[in-house]
Structure 1
Amino acid sequence: MTELDKLLYLCGISGDYLDYGGQRREVPLALRQRVLRLMGMETADPAALAAAVERLDADLWRHWVPHYSIVAAGAPEIALRLHPAQLAANFTWELTQEDGEVLAGECRPDSLPEVGDYHADGARYSARQLPLPALAPGYHTLRVADGVQSASSRVMACPDRFYAPESPDRERLWGISCQLYTLRSARNWGVGDFTDLLELLPLAAAAGADLLGLNPLHATCSDSDAIASPYSPSDRRFLNPQYIDPEREPEWEAVAATLATAAWQERRARLQAAPLVDYEGVNQLKYEALEAMFNAFRQQQRRAGTERGRAFRRFVAAGGSVLEGFARYETRHNAWARTHGAEPQFFAWLQWLASCQLQHCQQVALDSGMRIGLMRDLAVGAVGRGCEVEQARGLYLTEASIGAPPDPFAPHGQDWGLPVPHPLRLRESGFRFFIDLLHQNMIACGALRVDHVMALMRLWWCLHDEDDNAGLYVFYPRDEMLALLRLESWRHRCVVVGEDLGVVPEEFRQAMQRSALLGNRLFYFEQHHDGRYRAPAEFAEEALLMVTNHDVPTLADWWQGSDLQRRRELGLIPDEAALTQQKQQREADRGQLRAWLDGNGLLPAAVGPELDMALCSAIHQACSRSASRLLLLQLEDLQLLVEPVNIPGTWREYPNWQRKQAQATVDIFAAAGVQALLAAVDVERRP
């Protein structure tokens, strides 16, 4: 193996991959070298190349323990890497646990099992396995010393499986998914908010739902064209203030009389009535009110030293420099701040309001009887111009972006426009950013869906040049990141679902199974090779099954084939011949669906060209019989809506992430057909 080969391996840069059709594709060496240069590696100078390999490979052996150690909580072991002259020395170790308890011991390395060796500096270094007592899952500190010098390591003790609620009979829970901004009500300000969520939760719980899936709630760039997409956030560690209901806060009373004029009420009514969310209009209306409320808060609460003011100060103190950095970013980039001026404390205050309202929603979910409550969604990345990338710039490379290789749906591949994280810097930082990201997204929920969970193993890097297909896979520290995800899952008592749709390497599937990480399935894709839909008992047990989701057609759209015609009009289907072929395939799929329902004894007596409530209910009831541990129904399907939330591959061509629900939430659940559908689902899911 040459020095270049070693460096490519150590940096995780793949030399080949299997494409969508199972064919092996070689990655040009020039492309791989280009990625090395993006990572800051010199490839032309042999001395620099050798030095890079030395730093990544040999330096680890020159330290007794790494600066972090990820271990199994039940049987933790640390590898001491020692020069041969140190093997006979008497070592002491001291382990300070997260709760402050201290464990201690001593050892002589040459009496410990050898678990590896490395030749460097003219010597044979030896790794000796030091067993430690069982640890509670958490973050601990280990110090080892030989009487002359010492070394420390942050020990991250991780459970071997993900958190799951206690369930002796292995219940199959179900819930409803919605894009929060789509919710309608007579009182909101033109966008679904946390009070709308408070209305939805008891209604869903009363029908038997145990969880409610949400879109990502991340902070977005308010002055960006991508403001609508919850999957193109500014910062995944913070919340989008658009979901705040100003009228829930006591400061609203102080400003309502002067703010809520007839003209203001008319603006709000227009935003409410609009079929699409007008993000710019909503933000103008809300920021106008929230800034006035913040001024009232400063006068009435903070300066008076009330408990409400003290609670805000505690929130700011807990947020530390990260919250301060986000607030300062907002003063420079937020659309309202740039035109009206606003101080950092205002944006910290908005985060406090959003956090409190979201936490109240989760408490209401649990108080309503839900076993899990809210399921939040963690996007795969953040936009390059956003706060997250700016504040953690050393962690991201903006010269490449996350995407996907070519497939039949995207022959030129996909570029999601999100900067790639640097795998080496992720490790060098001890995964601190990753841990904080998980922590922030597991607050105020009972479950977390991790979008594109394969990112824990590898990401497709799109390289920005004239070649549309210029890209390759770069690998990440899978086992370490999965272990930390398990740890945070237990610390927050949070169920984790890994979105693993698409091409997933078998080794990653096996890693998910070993950890009991729930996968994500979509009903449309649950077919055998001959087109037959899987029998309910054949569905993956350790998974969340979605009947539909935000990236595929609604049931009504799919059944009547209007999605195909729309894709042709948008240029996503290249020509009429391809459209005809896809229509024929859809007709075959509809036939398979009818056969599937008939086999389950659920086929309605009359099935027409358009989806009706009888057929919709039959599909949901059959899906409810699946073996999958969790099931989500989409709110749009309960109303037989046709227009999709999002059409992948489009941006300006279709109003993605803007379409609202057709009805107010209370009216959806009052419909007799919806009540009957949910009752049938609940009966099927109960033991």
Structure 2
Amino acid sequence: MADDTQAPSEALLRLATAHGVVPDHWGFHGDLRRASADTLRAVLAALGVDAGSPERIDVALAHVDDQPWRRILPPVVVTRQGRQQQVPVHVTDGDPVHVWLELDEEAGGGRRELTQVDAYVEPRAVDGRRVGRATFTLPGDLPLGWHQIHAAGPSANARAVVVVTPDRLELPERLRGGRSWGYMAQLYSVRSRRSWGVGDLADLADIGWLAGREAGADFLLINPLHAAEPVAPMTPSPYLPTTRRFVNPLYIRPEAVPEAAYLTSADRSLVEWAFESVQGLALDAGPIDRDAAWEAKRSALDVLFAQPRSAARQAAYQDFVEEQGPGLGTFALWCALAEKYGPETIPAELGDPASPAVAAERAALADRVEFHTWLQWVADEQLAAAQAAAHAGGMAIGIMHDLAVGVHPAGADVWSLGDVLARGATVGAPPDMYNQQGQNWSQPPWRPDALARAAYAPYRDMLRTVLRHAGAIRIDHVIGLFRLWWIPTGAGADEGAYVRYDHEALVGILALEAHRAGAVVIGEDLGTVEPWVRDYLSERGILGTSVLWFEGDGHGSPLPPEHYRPLVLATVTTHDLPPSAGYLAGEHVAIRERLGLLTEPLAVVRAQADAERDRMLAALRQRGLVGDDPSEREVVEALHRYVMATPAVLVGVSLADAVGERRAQNQPGTDQEYPNWKVPLADSVGQVVLLDDLFTNARLRSLAAVLRS
């Protein structure tokens, strides 16, 4: 048990549990750790619960008991197709109530009357009123979709959302009984001679087409494309966006905008000059300069935005704006404010998007708001083109998008979503073997209660945008749909507590939206995950993740391939480790030693890494995959043969592994100490590998032959 001089009281523990705050967790050394009273009070405060004194704790506990009785209907009901679900309806005791369901128009529409069941519950005195509970049943034959339940009567006039989700998300026909493999790429790092210093959506289309046609790949997993700041400095991490719903226009290829064909010679010169200012960056082996690339692109896109659109193009643009709804306009407004004031210095009086002051700014910045709205349409068109190109190249799945865990604490989502995101806490991870000081990702978490009150609409809207042009979606840190490690502001990463979420609702809605999009879902379920969570995800049709280096047999040896789970995306490595060539050379130890991230002696950690590598080489030799003195390339290919011997339905191959790159893209637990998310794709000697030469690269073609066989 952790040393804790301020143990929480029993009442505080009950209050924490009532709000989904877990006071205990198991450390990575197997010891039970209990959160301090200060931690629990701070986490509860971030949930909007005042636990500052024993008296306030008692009041908060009473509120927990009374709150459901204050509502006529629950804020949202999430159920599974084929299952009956009972819904409580609260009215003045003795009053009649009429309840019915309006069905989702996408599911065919219509109205269903609901039947009250004989389930007596003792009335309760709440706020000076005697409240009774009537219970109604949602039938099991409801179609999938977002429906509305209505209640009407002398003391009832309410409606709420009912979400009917798939019991299981079935794999597409093409994956049943078969195996698909594909590449994994950090898109910004894969540049062509036509890139503006950063890999973009036109490059994505080319990679997808070439990977399918030349290598036989079925999918291409890329980093999150979520929007970053619209002005410098742009946060390099794709996992710390300003919003997860919209796309970073940095990835737009200006010349691929149709209006570029109709520029005057003077305007075309402006676009060409902008490109020339960053053209040489594609060959630079140093850190990727997003700010220079965006400054050049933004000036070119300003020119293209001013170009008149045809009637058909204008109608398509208006359709997109209408389909995306007010959320798109709000995001574009934040971008315009961020341009004017700076993303982190927007005046406090403009903190409420619904305020008169913000309305005045919207009018004053109308042209810039329109510009940022247009950027999202252009990005959406280029994403659609990339997915079409991947399919045209022969890919069965196409582009696999990645969904980050959270957002920047001073970004668009925090500004626009109100209390749906918590204040006073950020998300991270407790200490583990690879990050022994814990991690703080600086991201405000969803508030489970506020998300339910919003009927999960922000979550749904985010999923729909990411899934628009996706054959699959990877959910980073999928355990976050079950629980997240909340770290109170000002506390260390090891001084947090887990907060539980309604996983039945979050996973169900994910399955519903993926079903509608025809997409496969992969959950990144690495690290400390309760065994039942993996079973639950598998039952719901969500694939898991297996990384070779993290799969052991419980006795210190690599897990035999035949013992891997079948319903997973299996890979040799991940973006949080060095590529395989670097990992075999102990780069993951060297980086942490240089940056002061080790909490154990260097000799001990290095010996552990050497032993891990030796055990893996022994496993490869035992299966005849390498000889006595294999080259680096032979070992990397053998590692992939090992993974291909598993029953995994999907196998992912890092493009960095395919060309022999050694440098890590990201070192968890660092910010400025390492060039995270800025490393361009290069070969084993650090020479940049351009997209133009990628699929003629001898090492890539050799590994592709291994995968096809």
For 1:272, which of 260, 271, 282 is the aligned residue?
A: 282
Local SS of the residue matching 1:364? helix
Local SS of the residue matching 2:445? strand
For 1:190, which of 197, 207, 223 is the aligned residue?
A: 197
For 1:248, which of 249, 256, 259 is the aligned residue?
A: 256
Shift of 1:157: 0.5
1:580 equivalenced with 2:603 (yes/no): yes
> Comparing 507-516 with 175-184, which one deviates more in the overlay?
507-516
- Output the CA distance in 2 between the equivalents of 1:108 and 1:198: 54
CA displacement, residues 467-489 of structure 1 (integer Å, 9 cap, x when unaligned): 56321112222222111111112
CA displacement, residues 252-302 of structure 1 (integer Å, 9 cap, x when unaligned): 241665554786564233222222311111011111111011112xxx22x
For 1:385, which of 400, 410, 413 is the aligned residue?
A: 410
- Output the CA distance in 1 between the equivalents of 2:264 and 2:478: 45
Contact map agreement 1:172 1:628 (CA 8 A) in 2: yes
Contact map agreement 1:184 1:196 (CA 8 A) in 2: yes
Shift of 1:142: 2.5
1:601 equivalenced with 2:619 (yes/no): no
Local SS of the residue matching 1:187? coil
C-alpha RMSD of matched pairs (Å): 2.8
Residue of structure 2 in register with 1:375 after alignment: 400
Residue of structure 1 in register with 2:177 after alignment: 170
Residue of structure 1 in register with 2:389 after alignment: 364
Local SS of the residue matching 1:221? coil
Shift of 1:661: 1.4
Aligned pairs for 1:63-462 (under 5 A) are 63-81=71-89, 86=94, 91=98, 93-98=100-105, 99-105=107-113, 107-110=115-118, 119-121=124-126, 128=135, 130-145=137-152, 149=156, 151-167=158-174, 169-206=176-213, 207-223=215-231, 225=233, 227-253=235-261, 254=263, 258=267, 260=269, 264=274, 266-275=276-285, 276-296=287-307, 300-301=308-309, 306-334=311-339, 343-462=368-487
Shift of 1:310: 1.6
Residue of structure 2 in register with 1:567 after alignment: 592
State the AA in 2 paired with 1:530.
H
Local SS of the residue matching 1:558? helix
1:537 equivalenced with 2:562 (yes/no): yes
- Output the CA distance in 2 between the equivalents of 1:192 and 1:282: 10
- Output the CA distance in 2 between the equivalents of 1:45 and 1:658: 47
Shift of 1:64: 5.0
Local SS of the residue matching 2:535? helix
Contact map agreement 2:522 2:545 (CA 8 A) in 1: yes
Shift of 1:151: 4.1
- Output the CA distance in 1 between the equivalents of 2:586 and 2:10: 55
Shift of 1:411: 3.2
Residue of structure 1 in register with 2:582 after alignment: 557
> Comparing 464-473 with 283-292, which one deviates more in the overlay?
464-473
Shift of 1:367: 2.6
State the AA in 2 paired with 1:633.
V
Q: 1:486 to 1:669 in 2, by over 3 A?
A: same
Shift of 1:620: 1.3
Contact map agreement 1:384 1:390 (CA 8 A) in 2: no
Which structure 1 segments of 5+ residues have no match?
A: none
Residue of structure 1 in register with 2:707 after alignment: 681
Instruction: Compute the TM-score of the two structures, normalised by the length of structure 2.
Output: 0.87
Residue of structure 2 in register with 1:657 after alignment: 677
Local SS of the residue matching 2:441? strand
Local SS of the residue matching 1:564? helix
Shift of 1:409: 3.1
Contact map agreement 1:76 1:157 (CA 8 A) in 2: no
Shift of 1:397: 2.5
Which structure 2 segments of 5+ residues have no match?
A: 1-8, 344-364, 683-688
Paired-residue identity, %: 30
State the AA in 2 paired with 1:634.
S
Residue of structure 2 in register with 1:547 after alignment: 572
CA displacement, residues 123-162 of structure 1 (integer Å, 9 cap, x when unaligned): 7955645242512211112234568855433211111112
CA displacement, residues 550-599 of structure 1 (integer Å, 9 cap, x when unaligned): 11011110112234223322222368xx2222332222222222222223
> Comparing 596-605 with 201-210, which one deviates more in the overlay?
596-605
> Comparing 22-31 with 459-468, which one deviates more in the overlay?
459-468
Shift of 1:434: 1.1
Local SS of the residue matching 1:363? helix
Contact map agreement 2:104 2:146 (CA 8 A) in 1: yes
Local SS of the residue matching 2:188? helix
Residue of structure 2 in register with 1:592 after alignment: 615
Local SS of the residue matching 1:397? coil
Shift of 1:426: 1.3
Shift of 1:223: 3.9
Contact map agreement 1:460 1:472 (CA 8 A) in 2: yes
Q: 1:600 to 1:258 in 2, by over 3 A?
A: same
Contact map agreement 2:571 2:651 (CA 8 A) in 1: yes
For 2:551, which of 497, 509, 526 is the aligned residue?
A: 526
Shift of 1:44: 4.7
Residue of structure 2 in register with 1:645 after alignment: 665
Q: How many residues align?
A: 666
State the AA in 1 paired with 2:691.
T
- Output the CA distance in 2 between the equivalents of 1:336 and 1:67: 37
- Output the CA distance in 2 between the equivalents of 1:404 and 1:178: 25
- Output the CA distance in 1 between the equivalents of 2:205 and 2:54: 63
- Output the CA distance in 2 between the equivalents of 1:146 and 1:395: 31
Aligned pairs for 1:618-633 (under 5 A) are 618-633=638-653
State the AA in 2 paired with 1:251.
E
> Comparing 52-61 with 257-266, which one deviates more in the overlay?
257-266
- Output the CA distance in 2 between the equivalents of 1:247 and 1:41: 52
State the AA in 1 paired with 2:161.
R
Residue of structure 1 in register with 2:39 after alignment: 31
CA displacement, residues 357-390 of structure 1 (integer Å, 9 cap, x when unaligned): 0011112222322221111011111111111111
- Output the CA distance in 2 between the equivalents of 1:268 and 1:5: 57
- Output the CA distance in 2 between the equivalents of 1:285 and 1:90: 62
Q: 1:123 to 1:599 in 2, by over 3 A?
A: farther
Q: 1:65 to 1:283 in 2, by over 3 A?
A: same
- Output the CA distance in 1 between the equivalents of 2:237 and 2:230: 11
Shift of 1:508: 2.1
